[in-house]
Amino acid sequence: MSGHECSHEREQSHGHVHNSEQTKKISNRLARAIGHLESIKKMVEDDRDCSEVLIQLAAVESAIRSTSRQILRNHMETCVTAAIQQNDEETLSELYRAIDELLK
């Protein structure tokens, strides 16, 4: 398998493996978003200005959207490419469902 197929380094529960470097990057992005949300929660508890809270919430939403796009990009470069080559309609259907959810 090439470096872009789903068989990389770690076995996953959904039947394929992911590049551990990409997984670490995604995990780090999510950890930063969680930390940011915790700081926003503290802002609310401290009765900070609503506009400041909203601006910070928008930043977290943007970070999460960016992370979602990166996961989608990685998925399309690896799993979906392999699924197309193997005529795996189930994986493609799952991709369409995920895209529908992302676009809501």
> For 13-65, how does the pLDDT look when each residue is reduced to its tens digit (9 = 90+)?
455 667 889 999 999 999 999 999 999 999 999 999 999 999 999 999 999 99
Return the pLDDT at 19. 82
pLDDT: is 94 or 46 the higher one?
46
Residues 17/11, Cβ–Cβ less than 8 Å: yes
Going by pLDDT thresholds of 50, 70 and 90, the confidence category of residue 77 is confident
Classify each residue of 56-70 as buried b or exposed e, where b means 16 or more C-beta atoms within 10 Å of its C-beta.
beeebeebeeebeee
Return the pLDDT at 5. 43
CATH classification of 10-102 is 1.20.58.1000, yes or no?
A: yes
pLDDT: is 11 or 73 the higher one?
73
Give domain limits for the chain.
Answer: 10-102
| pTM greater than 0.85 | no
Strand segments, DSSP code E, in 7-46 are: 10-11, 17-18
